[in-house]
Amino acid sequence: MLINKRLILAHFWLAFIVFGAALVLGAWQMFERSPLNVWHFNPEFYYRSVTAHGTVMGYVFPTLVAMGFGYAISEAALERPLVGRRWAWAGIALVAIGSVVAMIPVSLGLASVLYTFYPPMIGNAFYYIGVVLVVVGSWIWVALMSINLAVWKRDNRDKPVPLAMFANVAGSYLWGWTAVGAALELIFQIIPTALGLTTTIDAGLARVFFSWTLHAIVYFWLIPTYIAYYTIFPRAIGGRLYSDAMGRVAFIMFVVVAMPIGVHHLFADPQVGAGFKFMQSVFTGLVALPTLLTVFTICASAEIASRLRGGRGAFGWIGALPWKNPIMLATALSLVMLGFGGAGGLINMSYQLNTSIHNTQWITGHFHLIFGGAIVIMYFAIAYDLWPHLTGRTLDSYGMMRTQLWLWFIGMIVTTFPWHYVGILGMPRRMAFYDYANPAIAPQAFSVVISAFGGLILLTSGILFLIVLIRGQFAPRGEAGAYSFAIPLHMPARIPVALNSFGLWLALMIGLTIVNYGYPIGQLMAVKNTSVPAVYVGASR
């Protein structure tokens, strides 16, 4: 039951339009850094472009997808109209206004600080204010998801919360808490410096605050993908979800351990003690568990669907899966990329192995494979699945969808595998120019050229994706029926209260944050004379 279709569609369209624009920038950046570029652009344009690409792809695009999908889940799973419709429109308006406010100084070259801010570099204040507006807009969504769940619970005291809504609210709480780190950094450190109220900044403390946000934000991006695995995929291929409880446990584990682990991004930073780096490394290892649970459950769900379709044998059932179904294809390709990306992630989180790839192109390859690959391909699947329900028109260009998904997968592999490789060779990230004539880095040139072609394949796939959606918007009208989620193999009549509520898990999340971050942050705030002069980007010299 989707009622506020315009609201949801507005989120998805805005998300995919900004995604398309940022994708063009991404492909240009791949080319600019490669030996194919013989014109030698002003390097400043590169940093401008990376800042815009990162800000859009990291903050605006996934936030809008999570918000739009979240509203859709709330209405479809709880089977009631969204409470707070006007607030939801205010939320998307804030995101849109914030994006424009942030992008103007970036386009003018006044805020080429990259989306991770990197103090003591300080850009134009409006860039940061725009990002804050985007986050505030998303916090409205966090509040609305919580309120809608509470309203539903009040009327349905003895019913289990539908898995899709449970996961959706888990994702919103995770985002609400994890955004606090960057918000503290922006509001108390960066914006005062950007406005000229202070001229120095404690870069070490700012980096610790940002690490609070930086890792769990990936899990916030990931939650819509996992919701699609659990609640769209089994239904779309004509099967059942293997276990409803396993899904709840996975999302709960993300809430508890996804956030207090961000210091593994600071393994090379001197301002955090080695002991806390080790502790957060341990908890980072734990966050692999919900993913392993998910992979198991989803493969089991696929097997159920296949055997219902007549699949036989220990492995023969794989061939009997409905491979022509775009959701089937997207999920399989997503899991493959998740596997490679996850394996790379285990290397990043290991305190010792990290030193060999820290700050190299390996990292860029890693997060593009996980986010751009495994996560975003499921955003495509979510859009394909929801579109007929949102537009009231048929979406049947299946061949084009499959081509698009395959191109995205191939493009992402072709882009990120050479990236990982040159990272091992020691190629640093965040650089506009490499002198490939230098014998020391000449052997990396070939791999960089390959990954630049990967960028072009991704751009082609992105254009194809937008064409499919636009065609869907003008297709003949067709009734898609009520939007539904996958049914578990065994629908539990009763669910333990722990798997149906968030209080305990939020308490554990905050408790672990205090244990893992309390001392490093407190100490950095207490120690005097740790600030350094701000480096104003784009200021005249």
Q: Say if residues 194 and 122 touch (Cβ distance below 8 Å).
A: yes
Q: Which of 158, 310, 476, 493 binds other proteins (CB under 8 A)?
A: 158
Q: Say if residues 434 and 447 touch (Cβ distance below 8 Å).
A: no
In angstroms, the CA 338 to CA 345 distance is 10
Question: Which 272-291 residues touch other proteins, going by CB under 8 A?
Answer: 272-279, 282-283, 286
Cβ proximity to other proteins: between 17 and 497 the closer is 497
Largest Cα–Cα separation, the chain = 72
In angstroms, the CA 376 to CA 378 distance is 5
Burial category of 112 from C-beta neighbours within 10 Å (exposed 0-12, middle 13-18, buried 19 and up):
buried
Q: Which of 15, 50, 203, 256 binds other proteins (CB under 8 A)?
A: 256
Q: Say if residues 154 and 171 touch (Cβ distance below 8 Å).
A: no
Binding flag, residue 501, other proteins (CB under 8 A)? yes
Binding flags for other proteins, 468-497, as an x/- string (CB under 8 A): --------------------------xxxx
Options 11, 33, 207, 215, the catalytic residue: 215
Q: Which of 100, 343, 498, 539 binds other proteins (CB under 8 A)?
A: 498
Options 85, 309, 429, 471, the catalytic residue: 429
Does the annotation mark 11 as catalytic?
A: no
Does the annotation mark 219 as catalytic?
A: yes
Question: Contacts with other proteins: how many residues (CB under 8 A)?
Answer: 35
Binding flag, residue 161, other proteins (CB under 8 A)? no
Does the annotation mark 46 as catalytic?
A: no
Residue 9 φ then ψ, to 5°: -60, -35
Q: Which of 515, 525, 532, 539 binds other proteins (CB under 8 A)?
A: 515
Binding flag, residue 439, other proteins (CB under 8 A)? no
Q: Say if residues 430 and 29 touch (Cβ distance below 8 Å).
A: no
In angstroms, the CA 433 to CA 35 distance is 9
Alpha helices (runs of H) in 185-273, residue ranges in sequence order: 191-194, 203-214, 216-227, 233-236, 244-257
Does the annotation mark 490 as catalytic?
A: no
The distance of closest approach from Cβ of residue 222 to other proteins in the complex, given in angstroms and rounded to an integer, is 21
**Tokens 């209080």 appear where?**
503
* The one segment of 103-111, 322-330, 446-454, 501-509 that binds other proteins by CB under 8 A: 501-509
Cβ proximity to other proteins: between 478 and 511 the closer is 511
Does the annotation mark 16 as catalytic?
A: no
Binding flag, residue 433, other proteins (CB under 8 A)? no
Binding flag, residue 523, other proteins (CB under 8 A)? yes
Does the annotation mark 389 as catalytic?
A: no
Q: Which of 37, 156, 271, 350 binds other proteins (CB under 8 A)?
A: 271
* The one segment of 33-41, 114-122, 362-370, 516-524 that binds other proteins by CB under 8 A: 516-524
Of 474, 465, 402, residue with least CA distance to 20: 465
Query: How wide is the angle at C-alpha 226 spanned by C-alphas 255 and 235, nearest 5°?
Result: 135
In angstroms, the CA 142 to CA 80 distance is 18
In angstroms, the CA 14 to CA 100 distance is 12
The distance of closest approach from Cβ of residue 326 to other proteins in the complex, given in angstroms and rounded to an integer, is 38
- Residues of this chain that interact with other proteins (CB under 8 A) are 157-158, 256, 271-279, 282-283, 286, 494-501, 503-505, 508, 511-512, 515-516, 519-520, 523, 527
- Residue positions annotated with a catalytic role: 215, 219, 366-368, 429-430
